[in-house]
């Protein structure tokens, strides 16, 4: 057992997905979920891990399985919940680094200092930032102010170390004007913006989503639609 593995021997996570072809662009990835989230989005499909007490699976067990998949697995995604809330995130990323896999971080952006730290330390290779709503609706939809999310967005747009994407789920609480505001005031000039269909009752049809996307596709170099 390596020194890092000894340090993470007591760390537990909420769960993991052994293979995903859609969570890390262009790579075959595993996904590790860390419980605990500071947002309360009504459409969240991971609400069962909002509470950090749901971290019950030993990380070492997952590391052992990942080691056995080296050679055909390209990457691992660290998701949540909100992974930047995890006090042991740095240790988790260091342990994953030892496996030689590319690492992607999914974040809601509420802890910009943590995002800056893991990027500057070279512990992640890709970052996905969720842009849940424009400033006017952010508190209503997420339960959190938008200020830190904006700080994370500005950092990602300014830095040159890692590729990144912004992601927006088209909740029924968002309309065309909201998407336009996100695009114009936050996304504008970004590398990639992924717009996702919200799969809940009352969600927009495929045709409506595509029409909304067509209006805002000028705001990023690449605009991708997921869930259609």
Going by the DSSP 8-state scheme, the letter that residue 70 receives in this structure is B
| Mean pLDDT (the chain, rounded) | 93
pLDDT band at 181 (very low <50, low <70, confident <90, very high): very high
**CATH number of this structure's domain 3-226:** 3.20.20.70
**Model confidence at 29: pLDDT above 80:** yes
The closest alpha carbon to 54, from 90, 84, 17, 13, belongs to 13
Q: CB–CB of 5/49 below 8 Å?
A: no
Q: What is the mean pLDDT of residues 160-175?
A: 94
All structural domains of the chain with their residue ranges: 3-226
**pLDDT over 90 percentage in the chain:** 75
**Model confidence at 227: pLDDT above 80:** no
**Model confidence at 202: pLDDT above 70:** no
pLDDT band at 8 (very low <50, low <70, confident <90, very high): confident
Q: Which tens digits make up the pLDDT trace of 138-157?
A: 999 999 999 999 999 999 99
Among 40-54, 177-191, 192-206, the least confident range: 192-206
Quote the pLDDT of residue 152.
98
Q: How far apart are CA 104 and CA 45, in angstroms?
A: 20
pLDDT band at 171 (very low <50, low <70, confident <90, very high): confident
Output the CA torsion 185→186→192→196 (10° steps): -90
Among 3-17, 30-44, 67-81, 131-145, the least confident range: 3-17
Decide which of 71 and 190 is more confident: 190
The number of residues in the chain equals 228
For 141, the token pair is 């939809």
Q: What is the mean pLDDT of residues 56-76?
A: 93
């Amino acid at each position: 057992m390596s020194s890092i593995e000894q340090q993470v021997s007591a760390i537990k996570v909420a769960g993991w997905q052994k293979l995903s072809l859609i969570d890390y662009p262009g790579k075959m990835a595993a996904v590790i979920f860390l419980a605990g989230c500071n947002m309360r989005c009504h459409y969240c499909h991971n609400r069962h891990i909002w509470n950090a007490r749901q971290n019950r699976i030993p990380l070492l067990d997952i590391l052992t399985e990942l080691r056995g998949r080296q050679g055909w697995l390209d990457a691992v995604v660290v998701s949540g919940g909100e992974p930047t809330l995890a006090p042991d995130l740095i240790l988790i990323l260091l342990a994953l680094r030892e496996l030689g896999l590319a690492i992607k971080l999914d974040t809601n952006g509420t802890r910009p200092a943590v995002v800056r730290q893991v990027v500057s330390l070279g512990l992640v290779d890709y970052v996905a930032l969720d842009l849940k709503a424009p400033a006017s609706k952010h508190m209503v939809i997420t339960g959190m102010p938008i200020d830190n999310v904006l700080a994370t967005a500005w950092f990602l747009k300014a830095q040159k170390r890692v590729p990144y994407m912004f992601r927006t789920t088209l909740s029924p609480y968002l309309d065309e004007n909201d998407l336009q505001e996100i695009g114009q005031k936050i996304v504008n000039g970004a590398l990639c913006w992924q717009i996702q269909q919200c799969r809940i009752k009352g969600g927009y049809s495929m045709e409506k989503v595509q029409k909304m996307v067509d209006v805002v596709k000028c705001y990023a170099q690449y605009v991708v639609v997921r869930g259609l």
